Amino acid sequence: MGQALDLKPRPEVAHRRLPPTEPVLRIEDLRVCYGARPAVQGVTLDIPARRVTAIIGPSGCGKSTLIRSLNRMNDLIPGARVEGRVWFHGQDIYAPEVDPTAVRMRIGMVFQKPNPFPKSIYENVAFGLRLHRRLSRRELDERVERALRQAALWDEVADVLHTASGLALSGGQQQRLCIARALAVEPEVLLMDEPCSALDPAATARIEDLIRQLCQEYTIIIVTHNMQQAARISDVTAFMLGGMLVETGPTADLFTHPQDPRTEDYISGRFG
């Protein structure tokens, strides 16, 4: 990164010191390999409930792999092998008796590139709801509206719910639609894998505001390569390097007083 970074967290970040909460996810010595190539090599990390946890690190450090292990998305990659434990309410989500689709219902995910279905906006949001239970038309309508409101998209699409395809929206709107789609299922945890990297600054700002709103109800884990973004929106930051967790702590502390020299090098822009 060539440009000078605004490394001082903004005042609102420094002042935003929310009390720590009970962890909702406990990652314990997690290791992930793709074939013979190790991507995550023994990460142990607690994710506090109803807080935003940012995972930062240079490209290829394993941060995306880590986050994809938290709702068993890596199961779907041929050759991926996961070892270790991920405790979610006292249950290891990798235990043999666990149904991965149930895990994904309770731990939702938003991806790097907005990926709406080529269906109407309404159908996009309703899809997850329809998968799991039969709802009356009215209930379905209500929950679609609520999810779209939560994702700050309702006002922009209320008139074209059934007529506009998800693909017809702008990039930022598409990503908020994907957030609404994930929220409609009412997960507890929302995983976000670089959700703003394909968006322009204005759309990014809207998503960031949204994340701050959502963390009152949801636990959010966001992977980002943008350190300012991590500083702006997260309560806790974890810094990864070469598949390992280097340092983790309250965001304000990690950015102002990094304990590890590698963290300091990274956040001051000396590499990555």
Partner 1 sequence: MALDTPLARSVRPRRQTAARLFVAACQAATLVGLVFLALLLADVGRDGAPYLRPHLVTHFPSRFPAQAGYASALVGTILVTGVMALLAFPLGVLAAIYLTEYARPGRLLALLHLNIANLAAVPSVLYGLLGLGVFVELLRLGKSILAGACTLALLVLPLVILATREALMSVPATIREAAWALGATRWQVVRHHVLPYAAPGILTGILLALSRAVGETAPLIMLGALQYVPFLPRGLGDYFTVLPIQIFNYVSLPQPEFHRVAAAGILLLLVVLLLLNATAIWLRNRWQIRW
Give the binding site for partner 1 (CB under 8 A): 71, 73, 76, 78, 101-102, 104-105, 108-109, 111, 113, 115-118, 127-128, 131-132, 167, 178, 181-182, 185
Task: Tell me which DSSP letter residue 61 carries.
Answer: S
- Shortest CB 62 distance to partner 1, Å: 18
> Do you know the residue count of the chain?
272
Query: What is the secondary structure of 211-239 as a DSSP string?
Result: HHHHTTTSEEEEE-S-HHHHHHH-SEEEE
- Shortest CB 8 distance to partner 1, Å: 36
User: Among residues 109 and 238, whose Cβ is nearest to partner 1?
Assistant: 109
Burial 126-143 (b: 16+ CB within 10 A, else e): bebbeeeeeeeeeebeeb
- Shortest CB 250 distance to partner 1, Å: 29
Single-letter amino acid code for the residue at 245: L
Q: At what angle do helices 201-214 and 171-184 cross, to 10 degrees?
A: 20
Please state the φ and ψ torsions of residue 71, each to the nearest 5 degrees.
-125, 25
Query: Is there a contact between 211 and 232 (Cβ–Cβ < 8 Å)?
Result: no
CA distance 173 to 207: 10
Based on its alpha-carbon atoms, the radius of gyration of the chain, rounded to whole angstroms, reads 19
Beta bridge partners of 237: 54, 249
According to DSSP, the β-strands at 189-193 and 52-56 are unpaired
- Shortest CB 187 distance to partner 1, Å: 9
User: Among residues 74 and 263, whose Cβ is nearest to partner 1?
Assistant: 74
CA distance 48 to 41: 22
- Shortest CB 221 distance to partner 1, Å: 14
- Shortest CB 76 distance to partner 1, Å: 6
User: Among residues 62 and 116, whose Cβ is nearest to partner 1?
Assistant: 116
- Shortest CB 174 distance to partner 1, Å: 11
User: Among residues 7 and 131, whose Cβ is nearest to partner 1?
Assistant: 131
Task: Tell me which DSSP letter residue 5 carries.
Answer: P
User: Among residues 129 and 245, whose Cβ is nearest to partner 1?
Assistant: 129
Q: List the structure tokens of 203.
A: 């759309």
- Shortest CB 60 distance to partner 1, Å: 20
User: Among residues 153 and 178, whose Cβ is nearest to partner 1?
Assistant: 178
User: Among residues 124 and 224, whose Cβ is nearest to partner 1?
Assistant: 124
Nearest Cα residue to 186 out of 146, 226, 153, 158: 146
User: Among residues 182 and 231, whose Cβ is nearest to partner 1?
Assistant: 182
